[in-house]
């Protein structure tokens, strides 16, 4: 295999739910306290944009593969851009997850010096998705089968009430 540059960053814009959804979440979690959710998100776009590290820069310094809500734009400053109220659809399976998640893209360097982007694929049970990632929201880390931690309702922008993991699967053939 030739040289591969590393995937080194993943960013998530926190979507702030509306108040009535906060109450719904509290009630749901009170009824079912040991749970996690796992879902697939297909590719939204592959582009040189990074609203968190380089807001407004077109292009950003490197390429990203991006998933989630369709209000994704180069500058998503929270005072001007509210994904849950501005997105009308999402590439994620839950129709009301308008968050965006992105990572750098991985390239394969061939012996003749050309670069090819390494194809991505869906995880187990999500084989039909187009690239993208698997997203997990949990009370505790995935390996902890008890999932006993208490979960607070959504806090102000910038904080995360749950444990989040995402996985990117790639293979060249």
Partner 1 sequence: MIVGSPTASTRAEADKYPQLTYTCLQDMGTRFPETKAFPKKPCPAGIMVNLRFPT
Identify whether the C-beta of residue 165 lies closer than 8 Å to the C-beta of residue 37. Answer: no
Alpha carbon distance 9, 92 (integer Å): 20
Identify whether the C-beta of residue 4 lies closer than 8 Å to the C-beta of residue 104. Answer: no
61 binds partner 1 (CB under 8 A): yes
Contact flags string 138-157 toward partner 1, x per CB under 8 A: ---x----------------
Instruction: Give Cβ neighbours of residue 136 (< 8 Å, ≥ 6 apart).
Output: 36, 37, 38, 142, 163, 164, 165, 166, 167
- Counting residues that bind partner 1 (by CB under 8 A) gives 31
Contact flags string 7-36 toward partner 1, x per CB under 8 A: xxxxxx-x----------------------
Closer to partner 1 by Cβ: residue 86 or 162: 162
Exactly one of 42, 103, 129, 139 binds partner 1 (CB under 8 A); that residue is: 103
Alpha carbon distance 69, 84 (integer Å): 8
Exactly one of 52, 73, 86, 153 binds partner 1 (CB under 8 A); that residue is: 52
- Among the candidate windows 37-45, 72-80, 88-96, 117-125, which touches partner 1 by CB under 8 A? 117-125
């Amino acid at each position: 295999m030739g040289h591969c540059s590393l995937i080194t960053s993943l960013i998530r814009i926190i979507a702030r739910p509306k108040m009535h959804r906060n109450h719904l979440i509290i009630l749901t979690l009170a009824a079912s306290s040991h749970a996690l959710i796992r879902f697939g998100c297909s590719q939204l776009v592959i582009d040189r944009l990074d609203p968190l590290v380089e807001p407004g820069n077109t292009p950003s310094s490197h390429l990203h593969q991006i998933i989630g809500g369709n209000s994704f734009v180069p500058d998503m400053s929270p005072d001007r851009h509210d994904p849950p109220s501005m997105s009308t659809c999402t590439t994620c399976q839950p129709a009301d997850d308008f968050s965006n998640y992105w990572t750098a893209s991985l390239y394969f360097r061939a012996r003749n010096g050309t670069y090819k982007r390494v194809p991505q694929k869906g995880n187990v049970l999500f084989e039909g998705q187009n690239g993208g990632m698997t997203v997990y929201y949990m009370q505790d880390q995935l390996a902890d089968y008890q999932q006993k931690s208490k979960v607070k309702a959504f806090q102000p922008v910038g904080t995360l009430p749950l444990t989040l993991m995402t996985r990117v699967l790639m293979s060249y053939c």
